[in-house]
Amino acid sequence: MTFLHEGLEQVEDETALSWQERALCAQTDPEAFFPEKGGSTREAKKVCIGCEVKAECLEYALAHDERFGIWGGLSERERRKLKKRAV
C-alpha cells in the first residue's frame, strides 16, 4: 500500500509541474531570468507578460519560497513585498 501511495504522490507532483512545459521561459535563455545582482530584469519580464502560465509560475515561486530569479513576472524583491502584503 505504501508503494502505491508514493506512486500516486509522484504522479500528482508531475501533473502539478506540467505548467513548466508550457512556460515561455523554457524556450528562451534562462540567464535572463537569473540576472546578476543589479542586472536588468526587463527582458525576462517581457517574456512573462505573454506567458499563459504566469499565474502558476508565481504561485509555485511563492509556495516554494524561491529567492532568486524572475518568477511569474516578479523579481525577488517584488515577491517579498507581495508576501508581506498578504500577511
Annotated binding-site positions: 25, 48, 51, 57
Interhelix angle 42-49/54-63, nearest 10 degrees: 120
Torsion over CA: 76, 64, 62, 32 (sign): positive
Query: Which amino acid, residue 36?
Result: E
End-to-end CA distance of the chain: 39
List, as residue ranges, the binding site for [4Fe-4S] cluster. Answer: 25, 48, 51, 57
Query: Which amino acid, residue 48?
Result: C
